Amino acid sequence: MNDPTLKPAMFARLVYLDQCLTWRGQVNRKDLIERFGISSPQAAIDFREYLERVAEPKPKYDAVRKCYLADSKHRGLPFAYEAGSPDELVRSPASNGFSLLPSPVRQCPPFVMRHLYQAIEQRLKIEIDYVSMSSGLRQNQWVAPANFASDGERLHVRAWSFHHQEWRDYLPVRVSPDSSFSIAPIGQELPQDADWEELVEIRLRPLSGLSDEQKAAVRLEYGFTEDVLSFQVRRSLEFYIERRWGLNRPGARLERC
């Protein structure tokens, strides 16, 4: 959560300092200057602000390595705890010191997103050409977009399909840029989207067939704080949990309770 006493620019820099100390265990003034393009005096002010806010034991400056080092019991800033990922922060300066698999680039033209977003805001139906993965066909259809959602990898739009007469998930990236994007009043009361409104509890545990040592490793890997990992999702997104977490697949390490 953001700290209202900080300006956004300094907030971002303090979060970055905290991430470096949390994930790399060290940070210097050059890191801050190169990341944000600030002056050396401003970097010094940021370090001073950070050291005033962070809890004991505070990072100590190492004159030999010319950087601040985190204590083994470093706790960091509360508002920076969930910000960001360690992936970029642990990369070695050496060109062969870190390897990263590329993520799929799932983008669609901005104007497609604008049309869908504005249809939601104005509660209109919109005509799109959509490529179905089940049939492989590009189909012209009218839909009434209602909500956006993400499965952590792709963006979805929840919409009423006038062709199928049901609520469905659509991927904006599969909407053809050549669609007419004609809009019109919905003209009728749409059925309630029960699968969107209903929340279901997902309870996960290490796979039953694993040894006690393997189960302990899985709990560490997935951040278990109790015997069961529990969270809520909309029922319409439940399928994506199964797919993203690799449940019921060869090599699965988790299963639903």
Q: Could you read off the pLDDT of 81-92 as tens digits, one per residue?
A: 555 555 555 554
Q: Residue 121 corresponds to which tokens in the numbers above?
A: 């805001």
If we measure between CA atoms, which residue out of 148, 190, 156 comes closest to residue 174?
156
Q: Where are the beta strands (DSSP E) in 135-223?
A: 138-150, 155-161, 166-170, 183-185, 199-206
The whole-number pLDDT of residue 86 equals 57
The pLDDT tens digits for 92-101 are 444 455 666 6
The listed CATH number (2.30.30, 1.10.3470, 1.10.3660, 1.20.59) that belongs to domain 110-189: 2.30.30
The listed CATH number (1.10.10, 1.20.120, 1.10.20, 1.10.3470) that belongs to domain 8-80: 1.10.10
Give the phi and the psi of residue 62 in degrees, each rounded to 5. Answer: -105, 110
Beta bridge partners of 4: none
List per-block mean pLDDT (blocks of 10 residues) for the chain, which spans 257 residues. Answer: 73 90 87 93 95 93 91 81 55 53 72 89 94 79 93 88 95 92 94 96 93 94 90 92 84 89
The whole-number pLDDT of residue 160 equals 97
Domain boundaries, the chain: 8-80, 110-189, 198-256
The pLDDT tens digits for 191-222 are 999 999 999 999 999 999 999 999 999 999 98
Q: Do residues 20 and 26 lie in contact, with contact meaning Cβ atoms separated by under 8 Å?
A: yes
> What whole-number distance in Å separates Cα of residue 2 and Cα of residue 79?
6
The whole-number pLDDT of residue 80 equals 62
Residue type present at position 21: L
The three-state (H, E, C) secondary structure of 16-36, written as one string:
HHHHHHHHHCEECHHHHHHHH
